[in-house]
Structure 1
Amino acid sequence: MYVYAFLEDFVLLYPVYAVLFADAGLSPAAISSLFVIWSVTTFSLELPSGLWADVFSRRLLLVVAPLLAGAGFGLWVAFPSYPAFAAGFVLWGAGSALRSGSMQALVYEELERAGAAGVYARLIGRSEAVSLLAVVAASAVAAPVLAGGGYRAAGVASVAVCVLCSVAGWFLPESRGAGRAGGGDRDGVSLGSVVGEGWAQVRGEPAVRWALVLVIVVEGVTALDEYVPLLVRSTGVAAASVPLLVLVVTVGDAVGGWSAGRGVRWLAPVLAVGAVCLAAGSLSGRPGGLVLVAVAFGVFRWAMAAADARLQERIGDGARATVTSVAGFGAEGVAVLVFAGWALGSRWGGAGVLMGLASVPYVVVAVVLGLAARRGGVHREM
């Protein structure tokens, strides 16, 4: 799982693709429209992919997902234009949808069968940290690769890594009935029965609904991390320094993932601190402010792992990937609002101002969680 997580995000284009789009002549609004295409594709396939994962092989979906992303990256560097960028995001979005829900469900059920479900939050959090460390490594490697071979060299390396990730996916364990043939449907399980079971869990369990809302909001708003390279660029640094400064934020993000599972009872106040750090660091307009932004993203990563674990504890195995995909669907919907808001706001404000304003939803979540904790009832349900 850790090998898969590392290879999935050891993509040299990650820290610079927003800059690639800008260098190709795209405006901030055009770049945001690409992100919208990405999110629309992902959430359009979220629910179908969750159903497929509950009925068929989750491992097979995890094998196909990185291949689709790699094809998209290849398009970007082979034909750097808006149509190619859009097509690449469609492929990447499809791959993200196949992975979303499938990985969480596979990991939780395998841990549960081994009697170790309690370590899920730590394992998922550390897996996310490994992914982010891969981004850190990719950011460090991207600078010399870009200097020596430009975007094309970074793209070729990214495609190769995606192929290796697919190979790693084939070796993930899957003890469900579907895993025996790599893709057959489970005995006695149909798409209709999975939909019915998932709907019953969401409709009949308030704890599931609250956990879903928390995951949707926290993960959805964190889509603003796509704009970190533009935030870095807005501080006035040279293009070659962008990957290294993005690395600072990514390190903070990774630390948050590695800390997953600890201090969850302090979720509300810690989220509030993260929101303040995001606003202060973004509005500073200086490279040094990125340290505060790094702290903020670490907090958000830690909160995402806590929310995911809370959701997995409350849903049943029969429709686990489907319900998890509902959360992904909602998060992508929130992400579309984030991208649209950035596109509209870019007419009046720069990257620092827009990133600073993005702290507001986290403040709202922190306040709601704090009030719920004081009342006690909602807190117990969540």
Structure 2
Amino acid sequence: MRRLTWTLYSYAFLGDFVLLYPVYALLFSDTGLSSWQISSLFALWSVTGVLLEVPSGAWADTVSRRLLLWLGPLLTAAGLALWVLLPSYGAFALGFLLWGAGGALGSGALEALVHDELGRLGAEGRYARVMGRVRAAGLVGVVAAMGLAGPVLALGGYPAVGAASVLACLLAAATATRLPEHRTPAAPGEEGWVATLRAGLADARADRPVRDALLLVPAVGAVWGALDEYTPLLVRGTGVPDGTVPYLLLLIWAGATAGGLLSGACARLGRTGLAVLLAGAALALAAGALLRTPAGLPLVALAFGGFQLATVLADARLQDRIDDERRATLTSVASLGTDLTTIAVYGAYAAVSSATSHAAAFAWAALPYLVTAVFLRGRRG
């Protein structure tokens, strides 16, 4: 158990301890890319994830999941290296393709490996607690990267930031090789990934509890996952100097980290409890954003904490309802739903914020969570 959990926490931390994350938009801009070119890169990144999400999950049900978990960071490292060695639109696009492919390889495979290994240890009931801490470790990596990116950029420019980012990804890949895996992958000639994919989707159509759990994952995770790209703009809109923005962002991500750490204590939260959690987080998000002052940001942090907690619990509900043979496949189907919904949120956010303000767009983003809360409260099972 100790080897599994601490290797997972290290893997999650290193995978998100990428100093380029907070400054890559600046790199694109300083290279001379227009806003439309930068937006097209984000779209390319999202589409790559959408196209590869489910096939990679089905693949993870037929090959070693640990293999995919160390291949993913290697692809990301290659993409980030391209960004700083050959800064250009073409290199940025290829880098996003590699990053998107690397992320897709790990999506589904990680959750499936963790659930299977906990089951082998007789600790399936600890899944929500462990995955909550994994998500929290990743957020700690994000926060640490945000704190160090500025000083490293000042000392060595983008090459230094890029080198540190590539090193973090390589260390994440090395850490993944230490993950235990006792599952035996399918032998050549046995059920392939296409058949696994078809069988997994058939299970989802035929089993209502599985279908409901699949739908709940994107309903909970997509909106706030998209909003995190716009939090710097929300913070700037409160009137603080640009130099203060990173520190206030740390407050928001500290809230999300706390939400992940609470997942173990809240693992037995039922439908009504999850509905109350989502409704409360939605109201906190709307109120915090509409205050339009730094005093509202603790409410936004509280909301992000609630959404992070709900995301982990939704994933745990899904894992409880699917069998081991289709675990990575159906987890990736849920992630695909999240990716598609996130793209839709990007478009809706752009439309609302262009017509009103970033604060109003954040407030409107609370509405889907209230709808989901009502649905959960009225649904049986």
Give the TM-score of the pair, scaled to structure 1.
0.89
Counterpart in the other structure of 1:364: 371
Which residue of 1 is the match for residue 66 of structure 2?
Answer: 59
1:170 alignment partner AA: T
8 Å CA contact 1:32, 1:342 repeated in 2: no
1:223-257 Cα deviation digits (max 9, x unpaired) = 22122223233334444433322211111110000
Residue 210 of structure 2 is matched in structure 1 by 208
Answering whether residue 169 of structure 2 is matched by residue 162 of structure 1, we say yes
Which stretch shifts more, 127-136 or 261-270? 261-270
State the partner residue of 1:305.
Answer: 312
Tell me the CA shift for residue 34 of structure 1.
Answer: 3.0
For residue 194 of structure 1, report the CA deviation from its aligned partner: 1.5
What is the match of residue 126 of structure 1?
A: 133
Deviation at 1:70, TM superposition (A): 2.0
Residue 371 of structure 1 and its aligned partner are, at CA, apart by: 2.1
Distance 1:317 1:32 in 2: 38
- Distance in 1 (CA, whole Å) between partners of 2:79 and 2:327 is 29
d(CA) in 1 for partners of 2:322, 2:35: 40
- Checking the alignment, whether the CA contact within 8 Å between 2:55 and 2:197 is kept in structure 1 is no
1:74–1:34 Cα change, 3 Å? same
Who is 2:325 aligned against? Answer: 318
Q: Which amino acid aligns with 1:247?
A: L
Within 2, Cα distance between the matches of 1:336 and 1:287?
Answer: 28
One-letter amino acid matched to 2:202: A
Counting matched residue pairs gives: 369
Q: Tell which deviates more after alignment, 18-27 or 300-309.
A: 18-27
Question: Per the alignment, do residues 89 and 357 of structure 1 end up closer, same or farther by CA in structure 2, a change over 3 Å counting?
Answer: farther
Q: Report the secondary structure of 1:347's partner residue.
A: helix
CA contact (8 A) 2:58 2:194 kept: no
Which AA in structure 2 matches 1:326?
V
Contact 1:235 1:287 in 2 (8 A): yes
The answer for the alignment partner of 1:105 in structure 2 is 112
Q: Distance in 2 between matches of 1:79 and 1:303?
A: 40
Equivalent of 1:229 in 232, 235, 241: 232
Q: Note the residue ranges of structure 1 that are not aligned, 5 or more in a row.
A: 179-183
* Contact 1:208–1:311 (Cα < 8 Å) also in 2: yes
Percent of paired sites with the same residue: 51
Q: Mapping of 1:28-107 within 5 angstroms?
A: 31-107=38-114
| Structure 1 pair 114–69 and aligned structure 2 pair: CA distance change class (3 A) | same
Q: Which amino acid aligns with 1:104?
A: E
Question: 3-state DSSP class of the match of 2:315?
Answer: helix
Tell me if structure 1 keeps the 8 A contact 2:146–2:246: yes
- Alignment of 1:251 with 2:258, yes or no, is no
Cα deviation 1:198-220 (Å, max 9, x = unaligned): 12321221000000000022122
Give unpaired runs (5+ residues) of structure 2: 1-7
Taking a change above 3 Å as real, the CA distance of residues 151 and 360 of structure 1, as seen in their structure-2 partners, is farther
Contact 2:62 2:193 in 1 (8 A): yes
Deviations 1:293-341 (A, max 9, x none): 1111111110000000000000011111001110011110001101122
**For 1:276, which of 280, 283, 293 is the aligned residue?**
283
Distance 1:365 1:32, change over 3 A: farther
User: Map of 1:145-224 to 2, 5 A cutoff?
Assistant: 145-178=152-185, 185=187, 188-221=190-223, 222-224=225-227
Deviates further, 100-109 or 16-25:
16-25
Q: 1:35 and 1:231 mapped to 2: Cα distance?
A: 19
Q: Shift of residue 177 of structure 1? A: 1.5
In structure 1, distance between residues paired with 2:36 and 2:375: 32
Give the 3-state SS of the residue equivalent to 2:61 in structure 1: helix
More displaced 10-residue stretch of structure 1: 317-326 or 13-22:
13-22
Question: Is the partner of 2:220 in helix, strand or coil?
Answer: helix
Name 1:181's counterpart in structure 2: none
Q: How is 1:363-382 mapped onto 2 (pairs within 5 angstroms)?
A: 363-372=370-379, 377=380, 380=381
RMSD: 2.2
The Cα of 1:144 is off from its aligned counterpart by 1.9
Conserved? CA contact 1:33–1:343, under 8 Å: no
Contact 2:55–2:193 at 8 Å: present in 1 too?
no
How far apart, CA to CA, are the structure 2 residues paired with 1:170 and 1:11? 20
Supply the AA of the counterpart residue of 1:248: L
Does the 8 Å CA contact 1:75/1:84 hold for their aligned counterparts?
yes
